């Protein structure tokens, strides 16, 4: 196989690993927040915060010229998982 392709694939593998590590960090924080919300008898879903996260995410996606439809789907999946984790 072409060395350029193989090198690019190795870089992609490293980036994918970094993405997973960042998601784990994010979800660990969500777990902590969920515990605090439960202790304080707060609702898991804080719509104003979710709206803020979505707006920020889309803003970053636009600046980076990423596919907005993909980024919207991605942040909604991340937020859903975050809510699920906080509910545990």
Return the structure tokens found at 25. 């960090």
- Which residues are CB-neighbours of 81 under 8 A, at least 6 positions away? 27
pLDDT at 78: 98
List, in order of start, the domains of the chain with CATH numbers: 3-87 (1.20.59.10)
pLDDT digits (tens, 9 = 90+) for 44-79: 999 999 999 999 999 999 999 999 999 999 999 999
In whole numbers, what is the pLDDT of the chain averaged over residues? 97
Q: For residue 24, count other CB atoms closer than 10 A to its CB.
A: 10
pLDDT digits (tens, 9 = 90+) for 1-24: 689 999 999 999 999 999 999 999
pLDDT at 2: 86
Return the structure tokens found at 9. 């694939």
């Amino acid at each position: 196989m072409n060395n350029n392709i193989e090198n690019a694939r190795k870089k992609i593998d490293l980036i994918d690993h970094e993405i997973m590590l960042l998601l784990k960090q994010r979800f660990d924080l969500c777990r902590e927040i969920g515990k605090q919300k439960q202790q304080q008898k707060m609702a898991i879903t804080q719509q104003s915060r979710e709206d803020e996260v979505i707006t920020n995410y889309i803003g970053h996606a636009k600046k980076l010229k990423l596919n907005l439809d993909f980024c919207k789907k991605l942040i909604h999946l991340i937020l859903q998982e975050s809510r699920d984790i906080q509910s545990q």
